[in-house]
Amino acid sequence: MRQPWTAFSALLVPLLVLAALPPLRLAGVPPSWAVLWLLPWALADGPLSGILLGTALGLMLDGLHPGPLTQLPALVLLGWWWGRLGRRAAPIERSFNLGLLAMLGTALLGGSLWLQQLWWGQSGRAALHTLLAQTLLTALLAPMLCSLQLLLWRKLAPGLRS
């Protein structure tokens, strides 16, 4: 982690989940704050940091919603994948690309939760509604929010390739 003090900003994610801001909802479903935070972080700081902070986010969010469902594996996988993209590929600079990555990440996260619900014998109808609404809303917010975060973290750590 090259930017350890900004890791504390991860504490905003559970606070935003708990706040459940009404204007930022689509059909009663909030965006995936974890994806909106993890995407620019992993792109800017790399795969190891993405894995570590994906794990921390997963543990914090799983602690908010007790039960058999977990976000941890999907967030760890996304942190690793986005961190590798930030290190190996050309720098992500276009807002459309951030929106697309956020959409794919939210779909993976929501799909993981949906499959877990089916595995545990729960109704998957609500999870499918959440998956679709959250994916769309997160993809719409990502170009604005992730672009700002990515610019900030690149400015704070100018030696990073991404």
Q: Encode pLDDT of 86-130 as tens digits.
A: 888 777 778 889 999 999 999 999 999 989 988 887 777 777 888
**How confident is the chain (162 residues) per 10-residue block, as mean pLDDT?**
64 85 88 94 90 94 89 96 86 85 96 88 79 95 92 71 44
Q: Which long-range contacts (CB under 8 A, 24 or more apart) does 37-40 make?
A: 37/9, 37/10, 37/12, 37/13, 37/149, 38/75, 38/78, 38/79, 38/82, 38/105, 39/78, 39/82, 39/98, 39/101, 39/102, 39/105, 39/142, 39/146, 40/98, 40/146, 40/147, 40/149, 40/150, 40/153
Single pTM value for the model: 0.88
User: Would you kindly state where each structural domain of the chain is located, as residue ranges?
Assistant: 31-156
